[in-house]
Structure 1
Amino acid sequence: MALAPQAAPTTPPTKAWTQAWRVYLEPASLRMLSLGFSAGLPLLLVFGTLSFWLREAGVDRSTIGFLSWVGLAYAFKWTWSPLVDRMPIPLLTRWLGRRRSWLLVSQTIIVLGLSSIALTDPKVALSTMVWCAIAVAFGSATQDIALDAFRIESGDAEHQAALAASYLAGYRLAMIWAGAGALWIAAWAEGGFAVADAGAAASAATYQPGAWTVAYLAMAASMLPGMLTVLCSKEPAPRPIPPSKNAAEWLRGALVEPFADFLGRYRWHAALLLALIATYRISDVVMGIMANPFYVDMGYTKAEVATVTKVYGVVMTLVGAFAGGVLALRLGVMRVLMLGALLSAGTNLLFAWLSTQGHDVTKLMVVISADNLAGGIATSAFVAYLSSLTNVNYSATQYALFSSMMLLLPKLVAGYSGVFVDAFGYVHFFTSTALLGAPVLLLVWLASRVKTQTGTPQVTGPASPE
């Protein structure tokens, strides 16, 4: 049965392919490319790259899994998103505007947090490092709230897929730097790529915390271009907020109305849409927590992981993100959303196969290529879909709710990933993460029958094949 097309954010595909691709050269898309870099830098530095550091320092897999709960800061960002949406920052908001002032403050928190992580050795003060990582995650989540609102307010519904793809491109470029860049710098600082590193035991034997200090200080400095971009960007046209007579009225407008608006527009369909949001990325997120410990345990060196997973793999994600944006313009978001869900879950089975192959860089490259290409397509369509559900009057709060729900369940489940691997091994772990994605396919099909309109949604029949 064919999937029903979205009423928004897409329209019937009338653009030529050249026109569709040209959208990435528009000023709004270029701003999102730059600001996406600022958003993407902190994530790996408190998850993927940090887990490599922790495993090299001898931290056990179960602890690394539980430390992934630092990411719950992203899952609960909706709780303070109304403040970011409405509360001005003294002096700074008058100078920069509401969105850019919050962006600059959050970026400053990230810089300070990364610098503190750089000066901490997890072998000596693991709890201190955890608190620093929480600070980075909080600043990064706050930056996401302001930046998502900035992005949504920077273009109409038709352009949201392209803005999302540009944002993801910058995001993934930052992940190359935060992943491969950090590993390369750490390898260089500890004596270069010639250092023998045949496995986890050898990795621990050559552990040098000073090398990671250099790498993380470099990452902190890498936030500076993003801060400069904020200062040079144009604030979106401010949305007037009616003055509140008292605190109760302000709280109603900041906390109650954004959620009441969503429930009022979608009624009982809201439960279906929220279920899809909560589970769409579960396969990728749960699997991703154990990815770097897996590479260390399989004997891959920093140089191999940096080159294959953090550069080549991220390039494939960029290809997938741009392809997803163009396909969404041509075919509709929901069709691409279904494709992304299918590919994201299926490619996890390739990791199960890889875990039986031993140390093989060529096979690692094949698996990473397929997985990241699928992830880019899925993420591009998913971000556009979340944007289409958002009322511009409450853009920061509603999008923060959606993106928080996207991570809450996956992060909770991912916390036990290390325990699962210790008990059952990598083959069963990767296979189980693929099976987690099966219910998502049904939810996408059901959600495709709900029109994402500004008013009350309607249920549509199956679309005619194009």
Structure 2
Amino acid sequence: MTFQAYLDIFRNRRIGAMLTLGFASGLPLALTSGTLQAWMTVEGLDIKTIGFFSLVGQAYIFKFLWAPLMDRYTPPLLGRRRGWLLVTQIGLVLGIAGMAFCPPHEALWTLAALATLVAFLSASQDIVFDAYSTDVLRAPERGVGAAVKVLGYRLAMLVSGGLALWLADRVLGWQQMYLLMAGLMGIGIVSLLWAPEAESPARTPRSMEEAILGPLRDFFSRPGAWWLLLLIVLYKLGDAFAGSLSTTFLIRGVGFSAGEVGLVNKTLGLAATIVGALFGGTLMVRLGLYRSLMLFGILQGVSNLGYWILAVTPPHLWTMGATIAVENLCGGMGTAAFVALLMTLCNRSFSATQYALLSALASVGRVYVGPSSGYLVEAFGWSAFYLSTVVVAVPGVVLLWAMRNTVHRYEARARAAA
């Protein structure tokens, strides 16, 4: 591929839409979780009430339940994917703005209802954005597109997380900050006006029965479907194990202060993840899907050795910085390839439902490794635990190698369709 061809991939409207819509996708998350918790804490609410509010985020776990509706029905404006994005983003602007007028002490239950609505609309936006990405990106662009999605999403989390807290505390106050965040959702709405439609729109399911059962029939009719599902669970499992107790390890296991860990994780870690995703997406243009998955899978497993080195050597800030930088860099590269794999596996007629189901399956490891990680640390100590995370990464790489022909076949089919 020529240098001009590389530039053409980066400077087209499809990739640009991944950045702005990725930003709109990531912005609401902290506003119903960490930032909202901070507001409630500052207002002096009790810990039980603050803990109860964590339930508003359940929509992100169960979003696959209503994904078929978004495959089946098409809003009157902007087509099936952009139309639903417009509906959810307008709802998010109104919902986030409504939260601004509900101080926790004065309108707690109204705030809870609005936060739940915002989380529901945000999860619905994620469903459609993932489907839109799958539909609109050409096969050679999926690695770069996935990387730019990660960039937009992470920047939005930084804005609605750290920057929002600073603005609320030092400049605007909580009400004006939430109104500002509602206004920033307009970035997504404006970008929908120039974001392109898919070049060959897929057929819409003819009935709700087809929208619900069609994605399952389509996926499980494929050779090696169950092995593909296992690969989705295993590929990022070692990475999930390593990250499950990393903050506790750095503070309690190594002895760094919470401030040191927060500064390095929030700045260097975020920057390394973004660089890793962009670098990985660029490499995927040359390497292709299978070779990228293999290389990045090995790197993200080996990078866990940095935590083992921290566990067996005297604590030093530079060592922690290097470990977090390398681990997040390799993890970001693996994420770019993994998202491209999920896109490749989706049938564009059912991409909202299939992507929601596959991404929910991919989160199983991240959600459920925490309890087992704690038991392993208690039984064997930190150094043995982090060595075990390298071992846990091996089955995913081995299964990927065993399924190389299957992945190559999907990759070739996606390129042919493009």
TM range (shorter): 0.7 to 0.9
- Report the CA distance shift for 1:253/1:308 in structure 2 as closer, same or farther (over 3 A): same
Q: Contact 2:92–2:122 (CA<8 Å) still a contact in 1?
A: yes
Q: Could you say which residue in structure 2 is the equivalent of 1:85?
A: 71
When structure 1 is superposed on structure 2, of 18-27 and 282-291 the one drifting more is 282-291
Query: Cα distance 1:31–1:445, how it changes in 2: closer, same or farther (>3 A)?
Result: same
Q: Mark the CA change 1:450 to 1:78 in structure 2 (over 3 Å): closer, same or farther.
A: same
- 1:408 is aligned to 364
Does 2:67 match 1:105? no
Q: CA deviation at 1:381?
A: 0.7
1:118·1:213 contact (CA, 8 Å) conserved in 2?
Answer: yes
Counterpart-to-counterpart distance in 1, 2:92 and 2:170: 24
Instruction: Establish whether residue 255 from structure 1 lines up as the match of residue 212 from structure 2.
Output: yes
Query: Please, what TM-score do these two structures have when normalized by structure 1?
Result: 0.71
Map 1:109-128; keep pairs closer than 5 Å.
109-111=91-93, 114=96
Give the equivalent residue in structure 2 for 1:390. Answer: 346
Structure with higher helix content? 2
Aligned position for 2:131: 149
SS in 1 for 2:77: helix
Note if contact 2:72-2:204 (Cα within 8 Å) is conserved in structure 1. no
Q: Deviations over 1:353-396 (max 9, x none)?
A: 55788986544432221122112110111111111112222222
Shift of 1:430: 6.5
Which residue of the partner structure matches residue 257 of structure 2?
Answer: 299
Over 3 Å counting, the alpha-carbon distance change for 1:243 and 1:412 in structure 2 is closer
Higher relative contact order (CA 8 A, sep 6+): 1
TM, length-normalised to structure 2 = 0.78
Equivalent residue of 2:405, what SS? Answer: coil
Deviation at 1:429, TM superposition (A): 10
Q: Deviations over 1:154-190 (max 9, x none)?
A: 232222222222222222322332344235435646x
CA distance in 1, matches of 2:244, 2:23: 21
Which shifted more, 348-357 or 161-170? Answer: 348-357
AA of the residue aligned to 1:299: S
Match of residue 406, structure 2, among 442, 450, 458: 450
| Equivalent of 1:343 in 286, 299, 320 | 299
Separation of aligned partners in 2, 1:256 and 1:79: 12
CA 1:134–1:367 in 2, change beyond 3 Å: closer, same or farther? farther
Q: Which of the numbers 266, 274, 278 marks the counterpart of 2:229?
A: 274
* Cα distance in 1, alignment partners of residues 25 and 291 from structure 2: 27
Q: Report if the CA contact (8 A) 1:386-1:402 is conserved.
A: yes
Sequence identity, in percent? 36
1:68/1:289 contact within 8 Å kept: no
User: AA paired with 2:27?
Assistant: L
Query: CA contact under 8 A between 1:84 and 1:146: conserved in structure 2?
Result: yes
Would you say the 8 A contact 2:277–2:335 is kept in 1? yes
Using the TM superposition, give the Cα deviation of residue 84 of structure 1 relative to its aligned residue in structure 2, in angstroms: 0.8
- Greater Cα offset, 104-113 or 154-163: 104-113
Alignment of structure 1 residues 10-409 onto 2, 5 Å: 15-17=1-3, 19-45=5-31, 73-88=59-74, 93-111=75-93, 114=96, 134-185=116-167, 188=170, 218-236=180-198, 239=201, 241=203, 244=206, 250-264=207-221, 266-267=222-223, 269-285=224-240, 288=243, 298-301=256-259, 308-351=264-307, 354=310, 361-409=317-365
Assess, with a 3 A threshold, how the Cα gap between structure 1 residues 46 and 164 changes in structure 2: closer, same or farther.
Answer: same
Q: Could you say what secondary structure the match of 2:76 adopts?
A: helix
Distance 1:104 1:241, change over 3 A: same
Q: Is the contact between residue 320 and residue 376 of structure 1 (CA under 8 Å) also seen in structure 2?
A: yes
**Aligned-partner Cα distance in 1 for 2:318–2:84:** 44
Unaligned segments of structure 2, at least 5 residues = 414-418
Does the C-alpha gap of structure 1 residues 148 and 256 become closer, same or farther in structure 2, counting only changes over 3 Å? same
Q: Once the two structures are superposed, what CA deviation does each residue of 1:422-441 show, in whole Å capped at 9, x if it has no partner? A: 96799379626555433322
CA contact (8 A) 1:52 1:296 kept: no
Specify whether residues 45 and 128 from structure 1 end up closer, same or farther in structure 2 by C-alpha distance, changes over 3 A only. same
Separation (CA, whole Å) in 1 of partners of 2:199 and 2:351: 13
**Maintained 8 Å contact 1:179/1:306:** no
Report Cα offsets for 1:19-63 as digits up to 9, x if no partner.
324411122111111111112223455566678889998999xx9
List per-residue Cα deviations over 1:336-362 (Å, max 9, x = no partner): 212322333343443465578898654
1:292-333 superposed Cα distances (whole Å, 9 cap, x missing partner): 6777875333xx667533343322222211221222221221
Q: Tell whether the 8 Å contact from 2:168 to 2:177 is kept in structure 1 after alignment.
A: yes
Report the residue type matching 1:86 in the other structure: R
Counterpart contact for 1:72–1:411, Cα < 8 Å: no
Distance 1:48 1:139 in 2: 18
Task: Name the Cα RMSD after superposition.
Answer: 4.4
Closer, same or farther in 2 for the Cα pair 1:375/1:456, shift >3 Å?
A: closer
State the number of aligned residues: 407
- Inter-partner Cα distance in structure 1 for 2:158 and 2:164: 9
CA distance in 2, matches of 1:337, 1:322: 15
Decide whether aligned partners of structure 1 residues 456 and 33 sit closer, same or farther in structure 2, where only a CA change above 3 A counts. closer
Inter-partner Cα distance in structure 1 for 2:114 and 2:379:
32
Distance 1:217 1:450, change over 3 A: same
Partner of 1:274, secondary structure, is: helix
Alignment CA distance shift 1:273-1:20 (3 Å): same
How far off is 1:274 after superposition? Answer: 0.6
Distance change (3 Å), C-alpha of 1:47 and 1:330: farther
**C-alpha separation between the residues in 2 aligned to 1:211 and 1:295?**
33
Measure, in 2, the Cα distance between the counterparts of 1:26 and 1:114: 31
Closer/same/farther in 2, CA of residues 393 and 222 from structure 1, 3 Å limit: same
